[in-house]
Amino acid sequence: MKSKDVKSALGVIAISSGLLALTALAVPTIVAYTTVNQNVSQANVSYTQELNQKPAVQLASSQIPVLKVATKTPVSTIKSYFERTVTAEEIKQINEYAEKARLTGKDEQLTRQFTDQENKRRMLLDDQYKYDGLRPKQKLPLKSGSSEFYLDQSKFTYVIPKRELTDEEMLQLIDWNYRFNYVVSLNLVVAQPDKKDISQDEALRRAEESVSRLFGVDLSKLQAQTSYYKPFPDSKGQWFVNFLPYRAETLRAQDKSYFMYNTFVDAKSGTVLDTTIVDLSYKRTPITAAMNKQISQDSSWLQAAKSIVVDKQGEIRAITSSSIIKDSAYDKSGVVAVLVKLKDGSSYTVELRYPEKTLRCLIYTPVSK
Q: What is the pLDDT of residues 225-273, one digit of tens each?
A: 999 998 888 888 999 999 999 999 999 999 999 999 999 999 999 999 9
Cβ partners under 8 Å of residue 102, min gap 6: 33, 34, 36
* Alpha-carbon distance values, 74 to 61, 67, 127, 250, 269 (Å): 24, 11, 10, 13, 33
Last residue of a domain, one of 185, 218, 242: 185
The reply to whether 58 falls in a domain is no
Under 8 Å between Cβ of 58 and 359: no
**Nearest C-alpha neighbor of 245 from the set 67, 122, 126:** 67
pLDDT of residue 72: 65
What is the rounded CA–CA span in Å between residue 118 and residue 95?
Answer: 29
Last residue of a domain, one of 149, 168, 185: 185
Cβ partners under 8 Å of residue 26, min gap 6: none
The reply to whether 242 falls in a domain is no
Q: Strand 157-159 and strand 109-110: pairing?
A: parallel
Q: What letters, b where the CB count within 10 A reaches 16 and e where it falls short, cover 171-203?
A: bbbbbbbbbbbbbbbeebeebebeeebbebeeb
The reply to whether 258 falls in a domain is no
The total number of structural domains in the chain stands at: 2
Under 8 Å between Cβ of 14 and 43: yes
- CB atoms under 10 Å from CB of 38, counted, come to 14
Last residue of a domain, one of 141, 163, 185: 185
The reply to whether 307 falls in a domain is yes
pLDDT of residue 47: 23
| pTM, 2 dp | 0.78
The mean per-residue pLDDT over the stretch 57-84 comes to 62
